[in-house]
Amino acid sequence: MRRLLTLAAGLAVLAASACSAPAAPRSDALRAEPPGPVTLPAPTGPHPVGTTALHLTDTSRPDPWNPDADARELKVTLWYPTRQRHGRRTPYMTAREAELLLKGSGTSAVPSGTLSRTRTNAVEDAAPSGRGLPLVVLSPGFTKPVSTLTSLAEDLAGRGYVVAGIDHTHESHATTLSDGRVAECLACDSSTDPGFGAGLVRGRAADVSFVLDRLTSTPRHSGLIDRKRIAMAGQSIGGAATVAAMVEDPRIRAGINMDGTTYARIPKGGLSRPFMFLGSREHVPGGRDTSWDRDWRLLTGWKRWLVLSGAEHQSFTDIPLLAGVLGLEPLPGMLPAARGSELTRTYVAAFFDRHLRSRRQPLLGGPSSRHPEAGFCPATCGRS
């Protein structure tokens, strides 16, 4: 069983076995008085970071989860470089979103304010700086909001990328829509249905293509983004959706799957665009999840398969960084939260710098003494 944090009854619970790891056992390790709000790690790039929220409606298709909605509403969070260093930091999530996320994850005893008061580094609604910047789309795990990928998004924006994080409506415990309504997880009711994972990633691929259409065609954003330098990354089912989106949309030049079982089948002719697997020990060759073994053979372009020793399913998100504020302890032998975040941001940025900016990246050439946790599969990673 995957050893997540001992917040196993909480944020680390993934709602559907079809899309994620099994839930770890419940923990009684809650401390009586959790510490104050967490501040996410500062971006490592040279640019201050701005952020803004977009509410987009795709009238060409109904919502796949809500039979009463004849259009698909999405919330998209943009992170980007700015010159503005001072101003109101954007909230990590609202108190209501935190309340529903904690409740849906089985940790409703934790006050929602301990999560919603998490401190970010991005200035809310700051003016973007630059033109023709590479774009990275982020897709979160099932039941999770894209805010759980904030530290990665801020880091990429600080390095000069535009990042579009998609909240896939009704696939998260809470998504605030344009009129203030909070959409809850309707997809959770279907998560055990046969073929659920495959259907979910098809829908996410459609969400991604719609968002790209809008971002590359509206005057407000088209000048900011270089439509020839677009990539995508996702965690868990978001990583699986990255494969699905790349199969369907040739505008996505490169992709990363962070610890996600894949469902969309790569055509027999293969996928020739650059791709990287970045995962935990569940994804070593011949390990518990064989979908990466299957897909590896069909990746015909530049590719890497990295496994981080000590990593767990949520190590590629903000969740381990938030464990302390929830009064929970990591298990022995688990990759420390700060180190997991550092490794994720380092390898993700190296991949995008190579394939969207044509910058040489020796880090991706093989094992590194500075990053000994990263095993390069199939040669230098094992099942232990």
Q: Are 38 and 119 in contact (CB under 8 A)?
A: yes
> What is the Rg, in whole angstroms, of the alpha carbon atoms belonging to the chain?
19
**Mean pLDDT calculated for residue range 140-146:** 97
Third-level CATH fold of 49-377? Rossmann fold (3.40.50)
- Residue position matching structure tokens 């990246």: 361
Q: Which uninterrupted H or E stretch holds 375?
A: strand 374-377
How many Cβ atoms sit within 10 Å of the Cβ of residue 335? 21
Kindly tell me if the per-residue pLDDT of 7 is higher than 50.
no
**Mean pLDDT calculated for residue range 147-166:** 98
Nearest to 134 by CA among 364, 353, 304: 353
Q: Could you give the CA distance from residue 113 to residue 95 in angstroms, rounded to a whole number?
A: 6
> What ranges do the domains of the chain cover?
49-377
User: Which of 65-69, 148-152, 186-190, 324-328 holds the top average pLDDT?
Assistant: 148-152
Q: Could you give the CA distance from residue 348 to residue 232 in angstroms, rounded to a whole number?
A: 10
| Distances 195 to 201, 264, 282, 296, 303 between C-alpha atoms, Å | 10, 11, 22, 22, 28
Kindly tell me if the per-residue pLDDT of 182 is higher than 50.
yes
Interacting residues of 377 by C-beta distance below 8 A, sequence separation 6+: 277, 284, 285, 305, 306, 307
Which phi and psi angles does 55 have, rounded to 5°?
A: -120, 115
Q: Which uninterrupted H or E stretch holds 81?
A: strand 72-81
- For residue 117, which amino acid is it? R
Q: Could you give the CA distance from residue 175 to residue 154 in angstroms, rounded to a whole number?
A: 20
- Residue position matching structure tokens 């109101």: 88
At residue 105, the pLDDT reads 84
Alpha helices in the chain (DSSP H): 95-104, 113-116, 150-158, 196-215, 219-222, 237-248, 291-296, 319-322, 337-357
**Which DSSP symbol is given to 57?**
E
Long-range contacts of 91-96 (CB under 8 A, 24+ apart): 91/116, 91/120, 91/124, 92/40, 92/116, 92/117, 92/118, 92/119, 92/120, 92/147, 92/150, 93/118, 93/145, 93/147, 93/174, 94/176, 96/174, 96/176, 96/182
At residue 13, the pLDDT reads 40
Interacting residues of 100 by C-beta distance below 8 A, sequence separation 6+: 173, 174, 182, 184
At residue 31, the pLDDT reads 42
Kindly tell me if the per-residue pLDDT of 27 is higher than 70.
no
Q: Are 231 and 254 in contact (CB under 8 A)?
A: yes
Coil, helix or strand for 296?
A: helix
**Mean pLDDT calculated for residue range 67-81:** 97
Kindly tell me if the per-residue pLDDT of 37 is higher than 90.
no
**Mean pLDDT calculated for residue range 28-35:** 45
- Residue position matching structure tokens 């064989």: 290
Tokens representing 179?
């009129």
Encode 172-208: b = buried (16+ Cβ within 10 Å), e = exposed. bbbbbeeeeeebbbbbbeebeeeebbebbbbbbbbbb
Q: Could you give the CA distance from residue 222 to residue 175 in angstroms, rounded to a whole number?
A: 26
Kindly tell me if the per-residue pLDDT of 157 is higher than 90.
yes
**Mean pLDDT calculated for residue range 337-345:** 97
At residue 332, the pLDDT reads 78
Q: Could you give the CA distance from residue 184 to residue 97 in angstroms, rounded to a whole number?
A: 9
Q: Could you give the CA distance from residue 89 to residue 104 in angstroms, rounded to a whole number?
A: 26
